[in-house]
Amino acid sequence: MSTRKRRTPEEAREAILNAAEIHLIAGGSARIRLQEVARDVGISHPTLLHHIGSREALIQAVAERAFQSIQDTVVNAIMESTTQQAGIAPIIETVFQALRETGYGRALAWLILENAAQPQDGLSLSTMVTTAHAARIAVCERDGQKVPEHRDTAFAVLITTFSLFAQSFAGDMAFESAGVPNEGKAFRNWLADLLETQLER
């Protein structure tokens, strides 16, 4: 047979992690099967093991890469929206899409439940808090208002994180259960308004 396709270790590793990530998002690390991942890539599972080492190493690698992707994607989304100076709503919308469309919201939920996530993984919320708080202080000083508490900004970031995170994987169910199906985007706009009025106080 001349149907063997020889890849570089980097190519193979990349393809394997890409395939494994799909399974991670769909069913968590518990449902990652070496044979399935290998089949998706188009290789045999001994070849997968040759490149990755073990199932545990695969899960570790795909989790680490997922954390990095989440952080990169979200930070990038925030950066892009922030430079446009268009308020909170676009930032919220972009971050939500980053969590939802890519499946990284689900992936993060799986990893947190599996205790595979550490506080320094995922999104480092403290940098977001610091950035947001600096912006608030600038606005307040310009308008001559008193400087807000740091903790207040942290809580605003947290309620946003919780809302977007939960909505990214439980949103459809929640909105339907609440009797307001397909109002996800309206909710996010409502959340942005809430934050703006709250943060101005």
Partner DNA sequence: GGCGCTATCTACAGTATTGTCCATATCAAC
Partner DNA sequence: GTTGATATGGACAATACTGTAGATAGCGCC
Where on the chain is the footprint of a copy of itself (CB under 8 A)?
A: 27-28, 30-31, 106, 109-110, 112-114, 117-120, 122-126, 128-129, 151-152, 154-155, 157-159, 161-163, 165-167, 169-170, 172-180, 183, 186-187, 190-191, 194, 198
Closest to DNA by CB, 12 vs 195, is 12
DSSP state of 30: G
Partner whose binding site includes residue 178, from DNA, a copy of itself, none (CB under 5 to 8 Å by kind): a copy of itself
Query: Could you give the CA distance from residue 148 to residue 150 in angstroms, rounded to a whole number?
Result: 6
Work out whether 185 is an interface residue with DNA (CB under 7 A). Answer: no
d(CA 117, CA 7): 31
CA quadruple 176, 178, 182, 187: dihedral positive or negative?
negative
**Residue closer to a copy of itself, measured from CB, 15 or 37:** 37
**C-alpha span between 43 and 174 (Å, rounded):** 40
- Torsions phi, psi for 95 (to 5 deg): -65, -40
Element (H, E) at 160: helix 150-177
Contact, 59 vs 114, CB < 8 A? no
Which is nearer to a copy of itself, 50 or 158 (by Cβ)? 158
CB of 110 to a copy of itself, least distance (A): 6
Pick between residue 135 and residue 173 the one whose CB is nearest to a copy of itself.
173
Site for DNA in 37-66 (CB under 7 A): 42-47, 49-51, 54-56
Site membership for DNA, residue 201 (CB under 7 A): no
3-state helix, strand, coil in the chain (%, to 5): 75, 0, 25
C-alpha to C-alpha distance for 161 and 189, rounded to whole angstroms = 15
Which residues, numbered 7-26, are part of the site for DNA (CB under 7 A)?
7-9, 12
Nearer to DNA, 32 or 199 (CB): 32
Residue numbers at the binding site for DNA (CB under 7 A): 1-9, 12, 32-35, 42-47, 49-51, 54-56
